[in-house]
Structure 1
Amino acid sequence: MKKTVILLLAITLLTSAYSQRRVQREPIQQKPQTTGEFSGGIGLSWFDGKPYYLLNISPEIAFGKIGVGLDVNLRIGVNDGKIRNEDWNEPYDFLRAIRYVRYGLKGEPLYARLGALDYARLGHGTIVYYYKNNASYDDRKVGLEFDVDFGKFGFESVISDLKKVGVFGVRGYVRPLKFTPAGNIPIIGSIELGATYATDLDKSAIAHYDPVKREIVQDWERPDVIGFDIGLPIVKTKIFGWDVYFDYVKFLNYGSGIAYGSNFEFRGLGLLNIGAKIERRNFGDQFLPSYFNYFYEVERFNLRDTVNATSKLQNLKLAKKTAGTYGELIFTILGQLQILGSYQQLDATPESGTLHLDLEFPQVLPTIVFDAGYDRRNIKNFGDAFRLDERSLLYAEVGYKPVKYIVISMLYQWTFKPIRVGDQTKYEVQKRVEPRVSFVFPFGGK
């Protein structure tokens, strides 16, 4: 099964894209439309080898700038006829059934999102980039993103968990020349200065195994991070966008680093949109870029092997001075087919590759449904890029529409299951397989 999924992902890489329902980041934006769908389905789920009947209700609606998505799943044990306890064992689970509520889109003057944070970011992403607050279905949190741009100044913010805060980050920025007549000067008038602060208030962030005491202790300094950035838009038209930037980042109790690069956007009249980012990174000792990223909830603390366990903070403390390159490329064809890929490689560390893929293939073929996303860290070489183990995250759903409102599909997820060990959280690989028959009824729009 593992090899089949990997082959499927590789074949569809050049012709598919990750579902917008799973990816909030849309760097080449289209205006929101009055649209939505009411979907649900029946199927089977397997958790830890146990089969469950599945009843799913997952309506989504976008009305102007407002979007709402639910994800209600009733899983009934095939063997005992009982509802899966982990899905509804505390009041917070009922709030988590609301997958998200949002206003606007990232990059607009006012943007807010409550619920699942799929790929949150602040600024150029040197501190918070592609952060996911949900490591798995059983570890869903209700987070918040809230951004306001007043034109001359503004801020971005992210909170991973409204129940116990966890990851918290805020970036304020100002366009100083906008307060003067020089603000009308092309290029220079839009220069932007920003400052960021981010941390993790969850005590798991400072936990590590003490081989002397032979127990888990929390005696390290919290990962408090500050950053300063400057951005300069070179070209900003309806068709072309090009800007350059420079970031300085410092962990208050650890090391520092810099990143500088450029973003490019091309909007080809709805036919072909291209986004590209290239960034050079230089780090001192005890520094990791994009510290709060899509693997953070899993990496924060891992107890798979207690004696040899390494937490994210421990990896930070052990990090050596290095440099590397980061690249990102996005294609959108006819407003439908979207491919996003990014990769980072450190110069002096062969096993440092980090791959991220988002694939979206919504309506290119009317009878085919395909959504997929893939992340992998610590890649050794090209042959190591597409394997499923503790360094991977995968979501893939392939389906067929025999008639307009019915979808027959297979869902496969490779994520991590949270397990409590004392007052800490352990993560183990969780494979989720669900054959589904879904009913999708679009409404609104044209």
Structure 2
Amino acid sequence: MKKVIILLLLFSLLTQTYSQRKVQRETTPSRPQTSGEFSGGLGMSWFDGKPYYLLNISPEIAFGKIGVGLDVNLRIGVNDGKIRKEDWNEPYDFLRAIRYVRYGLKGDPFYARLGALDYARLGHGTIVYYYKNNASYDDRKVGLEFDVDFGKFGFESVVGDLKRIGVWGLRGYVRPLKFTPAGDIPIIGNLELGATYATDLDKNALAHYDPVKREIVRDWDRPDIVGFDIGLPIIRSKIFGWDIYFDYVKFLNYGSGIAYGSNFEFRGLGILNIGAKIERRNFGDQFLPSYFNYFYEIERFNLRDTVNATSKLQELRNAKKTAGTYGELIFTILGQLQIVGSYQQLDAIPESGTLHLDLELPQVLPTIVFDAGYDRRNIKDFGDVFRLDERSLLYAEVGYKPIKYIVISMLYQWTFKPTRVGDKTKYEVQKRIEPRVSFVFPFGGK
């Protein structure tokens, strides 16, 4: 068996793309074109200390506004020669091999994406923001984003899992002055009013541990959320963009809160692009902002041991009245180096820091490949920012290109593995390590 694997390694330096975790950052093409890459690789994977030989095929292709990405992984145990069963133990796994199919990009008049949702959002993000349906490698889901903007009105939507409908949300909006001659007035003519409804139909969204009954029960009210927002673009030009907004959000059976802020964009002729967001948040009791976020699929309900559990709904019910600030910065240099950072801190809760970092360095240094992402919640102080534990998600890949189409790299991922305990799910830290030799062959383009 090992000889066969070695022959395969020598015969086919197939793929690996770097988009298994990161946000898709394709730019909308100015004219129809075909581009993409056929990539793949052979290497090794370690899941919780157990080694596997890895064969990966992950091509991506874009034709005009249409994009398709696959992520097919075949892992064979070094010790037993068997295929890793968690990758292919149900029919749904074969559908998950299609990483995504999309039309357009978020913000286009028509946008649709089926498959992995990396950082989905609705509106200004007070309810659904940076939601990921694939925070756990072994619990990847097939979700849907679907947005249409008709000019005078439109909608945005997200469904986290088409197999068993869990998280889903819908935002409709209207630009009322566009129905009148006032719609041609600068600034005020683009006034936008929106309304959002989002919930989680997964039964575990109601789960919590009852210390009296000493068991897991599901008898709390569902986290049904409604929101109303108003947005006003102040500047819209090729170089500058600036808008202000106000959101009111209400959990139907819990608390309410408001958020108001501003978005700013600077597009510096392809040399330096800057995006910034600053938002002030004021919450009543039993309220959490951006309830459906990048940690939600793990936070929804986590059975830590046989008698204890934590849940997002429990956190919501215990939340106290407070206020806080959220900030976000995005830098893009020469269309290549991109740095994304965001942070939230609540005024009266020291252990409330939430951090998101993303760094991509694809072609700034011709022979170096670097891509990393990091998320952490419940940060206590500066010394607590970069610790890896149950409050962290991490992805990092460092590589070297000895020749144009070959990449030698090392991937490290800190994520969570779902384990079924009866009808309950327990999430445990999962460390994924993969040294790779990859072949990346781009094609098409202008």
Superposed CA deviations along residues 311-341 of structure 1, whole A, max 9, x for unmatched, are: 1000000000000000000001111111010
Shift of 1:30: 5.3
Shift of 1:47: 1.4
Residue aligned with 2:431, SS: strand
| Conservation of the 8 A alpha-carbon contact between 2:28 and 2:104 | no
- Provide the rounded CA distance (Å) in 2 between the counterparts of 1:407 and 1:220: 51
- Provide the rounded CA distance (Å) in 2 between the counterparts of 1:316 and 1:305: 21
| Conservation of the 8 A alpha-carbon contact between 1:25 and 1:106 | no
- Give the aligned residue type for 1:23: K
| Conservation of the 8 A alpha-carbon contact between 1:43 and 1:55 | yes
**1:4-83 map, 5 Å:** 22-24=21-23, 31=29, 34-83=34-83
Residue aligned with 1:297, SS: helix
Q: Which runs of 4+ in 1 moved over 3 A?
A: 18-26, 28-34, 305-308
Against the structure 1 CA distance between its residues 331 and 370, is the aligned structure 2 distance closer, same or farther, given a 3 Å change threshold?
same
Instruction: Tell me the equivalent position of 2:145.
Output: 145
Instruction: Tell me the equivalent position of 1:128.
Output: 128
- Provide the rounded CA distance (Å) in 2 between the counterparts of 1:107 and 1:25: 13
**1:240-251 map, 5 Å:** 240-251=240-251
| Conservation of the 8 A alpha-carbon contact between 1:19 and 1:360 | no
- Tell me: higher relative CO, structure 1 or 2? Use CA pairs within 8 A at least 6 residues apart: 1
Instruction: Tell me the equivalent position of 1:230.
Output: 230
Shift of 1:212: 1.2
- Give the aligned residue type for 2:443: F
**1:21-420 map, 5 Å:** 22-24=21-23, 31=29, 34-420=34-420
Taking structure 2 as the reference length, the TM-score comes to 0.94
Instruction: Tell me the equivalent position of 1:13.
Output: none
Residue aligned with 1:128, SS: coil
| Conservation of the 8 A alpha-carbon contact between 2:215 and 2:307 | no
- Give the aligned residue type for 2:200: D
Any unmatched runs of 5+ in structure 1?
A: 1-17
Give the % identical residues.
88
- Provide the rounded CA distance (Å) in 2 between the counterparts of 1:55 and 1:243: 47
Shift of 1:180: 0.5
- Give the aligned residue type for 1:24: V
Superposed CA deviations along residues 389-431 of structure 1, whole A, max 9, x for unmatched, are: 0000000010011111111000000000011111121110000
- Provide the rounded CA distance (Å) in 1 between the counterparts of 2:42 and 2:27: 33
Shift of 1:29: 5.2
Shift of 1:24: 3.3
Shift of 1:381: 0.8
Instruction: Tell me the equivalent position of 2:10.
Output: none
Shift of 1:198: 0.3
- Provide the rounded CA distance (Å) in 2 between the counterparts of 1:38 and 1:20: 13
| Conservation of the 8 A alpha-carbon contact between 1:25 and 1:119 | no
Shift of 1:365: 1.1
- Give the aligned residue type for 2:22: V
Instruction: Tell me the equivalent position of 2:6.
Output: none
- Provide the rounded CA distance (Å) in 2 between the counterparts of 1:340 and 1:413: 19
Instruction: Tell me the equivalent position of 2:443.
Output: 443
Shift of 1:23: 3.3
Residue aligned with 1:363, SS: coil
| Conservation of the 8 A alpha-carbon contact between 1:19 and 1:372 | no
- Give the aligned residue type for 1:124: H
- Provide the rounded CA distance (Å) in 2 between the counterparts of 1:349 and 1:308: 24
Any unmatched runs of 5+ in structure 2?
A: 1-16
Shift of 1:31: 3.6
Shift of 1:21: 6.0
- Give the aligned residue type for 1:201: L
- Provide the rounded CA distance (Å) in 2 between the counterparts of 1:20 and 1:184: 41
Residue aligned with 1:316, SS: helix
Against the structure 1 CA distance between its residues 161 and 415, is the aligned structure 2 distance closer, same or farther, given a 3 Å change threshold?
same
- Give the aligned residue type for 2:437: V
- Provide the rounded CA distance (Å) in 2 between the counterparts of 1:306 and 1:90: 26
**Higher deviation after alignment, 297-306 or 285-294:** 297-306
Residue aligned with 1:93, SS: helix
Against the structure 1 CA distance between its residues 21 and 45, is the aligned structure 2 distance closer, same or farther, given a 3 Å change threshold?
closer
- Provide the rounded CA distance (Å) in 1 between the counterparts of 2:324 and 2:423: 37
- Provide the rounded CA distance (Å) in 2 between the counterparts of 1:48 and 1:431: 6
- Give the aligned residue type for 2:61: I
Taking structure 1 as the reference length, the TM-score comes to 0.94
- Provide the rounded CA distance (Å) in 2 between the counterparts of 1:306 and 1:382: 33
Superposed CA deviations along residues 167-210 of structure 1, whole A, max 9, x for unmatched, are: 01000000000000000000100000000000000001001111
Instruction: Tell me the equivalent position of 1:432.
Output: 432
- Give the aligned residue type for 2:252: L
- Provide the rounded CA distance (Å) in 2 between the counterparts of 1:164 and 1:396: 31
After superposition, the CA RMSD in angstroms is 1.4
Shift of 1:307: 4.4
- Provide the rounded CA distance (Å) in 2 between the counterparts of 1:306 and 1:314: 18
| Conservation of the 8 A alpha-carbon contact between 2:367 and 2:402 | yes
| Conservation of the 8 A alpha-carbon contact between 1:37 and 1:442 | yes
Shift of 1:25: 6.2
